[in-house]
Amino acid sequence: MQRLTGIGVSPGVVSGRAVVLMQRAQVLRYRVAPERIADELARLDQSRLRSRQQLQDIRARIGRRRGPELAALFDAQLLMLDDPMLVPRAEGLVRDTLVNAEWAVQQVFDEFSAIFDEIADPYLRERKGDVADLVGRLKMNLRQDVSSPRDLLSALEEASVLIADELTPSLVAQVDWTKVRGFATDAGSRTYHTAILARSLEVPAVVGLHCAVDRIQPGQMVVIDGTENAIIIDPDAKTLALAERASTDHRPARHGEGDRRRPAATADGVRITLDANIEFADDLAHARYAGAEGIGLYRSEFLLTSHRALPTEDQQYEIYRRMLEGMAPGTVTVRTFDVDEDQMARRSTDPTLGGSWISEEERGSRQGLRGLRLSLTRPELFRTQLRALLRAARHGSLRIMFPFVSGVEQVRSARQLVSEAAADLQARGIVVPHVPIGVMIEIPAAAYTADLFAREVDFFTIGTNDLIQYCLAVDRADERVSRLYEPLHPAILRVILTVRRAATRARIPVSLCGEMASDPALLTLLVGLGLTEFSMTPGAIGVAKQVLSELRSDDLRALARRVLRLPTVDEIEQELLAALGRYSIR
C-alpha cells in the first residue's frame, strides 16, 4: 500500500481500477479485459494497414511533385512498419500486459527513444524523428476507431478512477461519471476550471500529485480521498472496504430524459441556448441524446474524407436532408467547406475539384487560401454545395455559414453565388425557401469590422479556436509557444465583447463555438459578457446545463465587469476562481 499526498479539490472517498491518461503524450492507458484482447490487436493491425497506405500515397505524391530522391525519405518509415521491434513488440505488450494499443505503441516509442538518445552518431540520432513521425501516425489511425474520449471511457467494463498528468475541463465535461468515480492529476496549478467542475459534479478529486502517472499501472486498485488530500495505491482490505462504503454517497445519478431535454437557463431564469458541434451526420443521434437544441456547427468539410472525389450535389443533398429532418424542429447551421489548397491536392483530373484530403499532420500553416477564400476561387465546386444545401432547406431549419472570412467583399461575392445557385434550382422547378446566411468570426480583421459585417449577414458565430490563435500569433501545435495560447487573455475577452456588441446593435443573433464554449467555467464568464447562444461538443452539454443552473446572470455580469479591468491572465484566472467559489458551485 502506498500513499501519495496532493491537494484535495473536491471532497469524498472513492475506489476503482486505474485508467491512466497521458495528455501530453495524447494517449490513454487502461486495462483491457482478456476477452477483448483480440479486438484490440485487430485495431492495431488496422492502424498499421492505414498507415502503410497513407505513407505509400504520400511517397507517390512527393515523387510526382519533387522527384524520387525526396520520395525515398519515406522508405525508412515503410520499412519500420515491418520491423519486429515496432508493431509486433506493441502487439506483445497488448497480449502480455492487457493494455490498450495506444499505450503499447507509446511504450515502444519510449523504448526506441532511450536507444536513440544513447547513440553518438548525430545522423543516426536524428532518425528518432522518423520513429516519432511513424508512431504519431499509428496513434492517429488508432483514434479513428474511437469517436471521442467519452465513448472510449464509457466502454470500460468496471468502475474506474482516472489518473492523469493533466486534465482539461472539456474532457472532464465529457466523461461518463457513472463509470469513472473520481480523478487525480499530477498537475496542481492552473487547474481551477477542472477543480470547479469536480465540485459541481460531486466527484472526489486530488490534484498536484506530480508523479501519479509514473507510479500507477492501468488496472491497479486506487483509492482517491479528496477530503484527506491523498490517493492510496493498492489499498489493503480494510482501507478498501471503508472506501467502498463511502463511494456509494458520491456516485452521480444518471440524468433522466427530462434533465436532458430541459432547456438551459441560469438560476434567475435567463435562457441559454446550447447547440452541438458535429463532424459527421451519424453524430446527430449523440447530439440529440445529449440534449442539444440544434446543430450550431456542422463541419461539412468532413464529407471530403469519406469520398474519393467531391460528393455530388445529390449525395450532399441526401446528407443535409437527413440531418435537417433528424434535428427538426431544431436549427442546423452548416459551415461550407473549410479546407485549404493542400487538403484539396490532386486526386482528380477535374480542375475544379483539386483532389485528395491531406490530414492536419501532413500540412503546414493554414493562413493562406482556405475556407471561403478557396471556395470563391472554385465557383463550380461552391455552387454545387450551395445547390445541395438550398434543396435540403425545404426539409427543416437551415442556416448557411461561411468560414475564414476577412472582408465584406468576400461575403458579397458569396451571397451572389448563393443567388445564382437559387436561380439554377428555380429554373429546374425547385422552390427555394429563405435561408439565413452568416459568417464565422475567427480572423481579427473580421472581429474588428464586425459592425460592417453585421449589415451584410443574418447571424454571427464566433470561432474561438482560430480567433485566439490569430489574435495572439500562437500556433497551438508549436510546443515552444503553445503555452501562450490563452483564452482568458484580456485581448480575447475584449474582442469577443466587441463582436457581441456589434451583433446586438444590428439586432442579429450571435453564438460562440470552440473549446471555450465546452469549458463550463469559461462558459459562465462568456454569459457574463452577454452571450446566450453556444455550440459545443455534445458531451459537454449536460455539465454546462448543470453549472449554469446554479449561477445568477447578474452575478456573472458583475464578474465580467471586474475581469475586463484586469491586465493579466493570472489575475483573471484568480478572479474567476474566487468568484465561482463564492457562488453556487462548491
Catalytic residues: 193, 513
* Burial class (CB within 10 angstroms; exposed 0-12, middle 13-18, buried 19+) of 265: middle
User: In this structure, are residues 399 and 459 in contact, taking their beta carbons and an 8 Å threshold?
Assistant: yes
Tell whether the torsion through CA atoms of 371, 372, 377 and 379 is positive or negative. Answer: positive
> Measured between alpha carbons, how far is 562 from 565 in angstroms, rounded to an integer?
6
> Measured between alpha carbons, how far is 165 from 385 in angstroms, rounded to an integer?
43
User: In this structure, are residues 161 and 180 in contact, taking their beta carbons and an 8 Å threshold?
Assistant: yes
* Burial class (CB within 10 angstroms; exposed 0-12, middle 13-18, buried 19+) of 117: exposed
Number of CB atoms found within 10 A of residue 8's CB: 23
| Beta-carbon-side half-sphere exposure of residue 251 (alpha carbons within 13 Å) | 15
- The packing angle between helices 520-528 and 553-564, to 10°, is 90
Tell whether the torsion through CA atoms of 318, 321, 326 and 327 is positive or negative. Answer: positive
DSSP letter string, 19-54: EEEETTTTEEE-BPPGGGHHHHHHHHHHHHHHHHHH
H or E segment at 132?
Answer: helix 128-143
Tell which residue, 218, 231, 102, 245, has the closest CA to residue 160: 218
User: In this structure, are residues 370 and 404 in contact, taking their beta carbons and an 8 Å threshold?
Assistant: yes
Max Cα separation, the chain? 79
Nearest 5°: CA angle at 272, between 269 and 273? 145
Helices (H), 475-538: 490-506, 515-518, 520-528
> Measured between alpha carbons, how far is 508 from 500 in angstroms, rounded to an integer?
10
Tell which residue, 8, 30, 29, has the closest CA to residue 182: 8
How far is residue 184 from each of residues 153, 207, 230, 233, measured CA to CA in Å?
A: 16, 5, 9, 12
Q: Output DSSP code: residue 551.
A: S
**Nine-digit cell string for 542:** 449536460
354: which residues sit within 8 A by CB, 6+ positions away? 341, 344, 345, 346, 347, 348, 378
